[in-house]
Amino acid sequence: MPSPAPRLTRYCLLGHVDPVHLDLYKQRHAAVWPALLEALRDAGWHNYSLFLRDDGLLIGYVEAVDLDEAQARVAATEVNTRWQAEMSALFASEGAPDEAWERLDLVFNLEDQLQALRPRPPEPPDAEPRRQAPRRQTPNPPTSSA
């Protein structure tokens, strides 16, 4: 039987786009380079989304088995180096934007709490219960007539 897939952890990331560059930031993210999309996927990024407020507050959401490992894998790609160089001019922070993320702690998840409320199915017994052989029916003995 195949081993179960590793459990993904949810991550929330906080960044700051320079408000002067919001339109350009949105334009660039409307059509991210296909090679970068594939690099993120291949590095272990899942369900990655970005949310931008009009003052430049940027919230990132991503799921990964290990975000540090996934980040290191994508950072090692040439396409990410080029993308970060272009994006760095749009951010209010110094350096590569993917190195300036602030991580926020998860404090609530609806599905996790609902799952915790559900009773777990009983564990299967180690061995199947023994089945009794069906009883044989014996025909009624003939009765004598008097």
Angle at 33 between CA 29 and CA 35, to 5 degrees: 140
Helix, strand or coil, per DSSP, at residue 143: coil
Judge whether 136 lies within some domain: no
Q: Is the pLDDT of residue 145 over 70?
A: no
Judge whether 144 lies within some domain: no
> Each residue of 116-125: pLDDT tens digit?
998 877 777 7
Judge whether 145 lies within some domain: no
* Pair of tokens at residue 60: 């990132």
Domain that holds residue 35: 9-117
Q: Write down the pLDDT at residue 2.
A: 73
Judge whether 43 lies within some domain: yes
Q: How many domains does the chain have?
A: 1
Judge whether 31 lies within some domain: yes
Q: Is the pLDDT of residue 49 over 70?
A: yes
CATH number at residue 98: 3.30.70.100
Q: One-letter amino acid identity for 50?
A: L
Tell me the catalytic residues: 29
